Amino acid sequence: MKEEIIFKQLESVRSITMELLESIPESEWDVIPKGFRNNIRWNAGHILTIQDFFTNSFRSLSEHLPEKYWAYFGKDTSPADWTEKPPSKEVLLKLLKEQPASIHTRCEGKLDQKLDKPFKGAETLGELLLIGNFHDGMHTGVINAQRKIISENK
């Protein structure tokens, strides 16, 4: 697998996500548009948390986010369940921006190594990162849709 292509794709996808998130005022990050169960803040945190989970599925790459991020942004969570104030836009953007370089540093030379257990058809760390890129893009699309709905309802 050509590592540099995967790392470049990770940076490109994240750059698109960052540009969108930076353009949205924080006052809109907590609005849950009709038809959605989560908001922009949740989607941003979810992208960060799931990509962290994917890279940490490979045991030797431990660099976990605080445990509370999983409670805020993990699978099947919702802002309706939050009992504490979630991370700010500034904190989430900083972590999202730093994550691709961190993944590159930690994963370089390891993308062909097998996972302990396959995940959604991925058997290697590189394949898992590709699923992470798809996941990033999918949630970026959701964020874009939420932004448009919020803007229309102002």
Query: In this structure, are residues 40 and 143 in contact, taking their beta carbons and an 8 Å threshold?
Result: yes
pLDDT at 61: 45
pLDDT, greater one: 44 or 64: 44
pLDDT digits (tens, 9 = 90+) for 135-146: 999 999 999 999
| 3-state SS, one letter per residue, for 67-92 | CHHHHHHCCCCCHHHCCCCCCCHHHH
pLDDT digits (tens, 9 = 90+) for 73-123: 999 999 999 999 999 999 999 999 999 999 999 889 999 988 888 888 899
pLDDT at 72: 95
Residue 45 and residue 153: Cα distance in Å, rounded? 24
Residue 100 and residue 51: Cα distance in Å, rounded? 9
Q: Which residues contact 76 (CB under 8 A, 6 or more apart)?
A: none
Query: Tokens at residue 118, please?
Result: 């396959």
pLDDT digits (tens, 9 = 90+) for 3-51: 899 999 999 999 999 999 999 999 999 999 999 999 999 999 999 999 9
We find that the CATH architecture of domain 3-152 is Up-down Bundle (1.20)
Residue 129: band (very low, low, confident or very high) from pLDDT cuts 50, 70, 90: very high
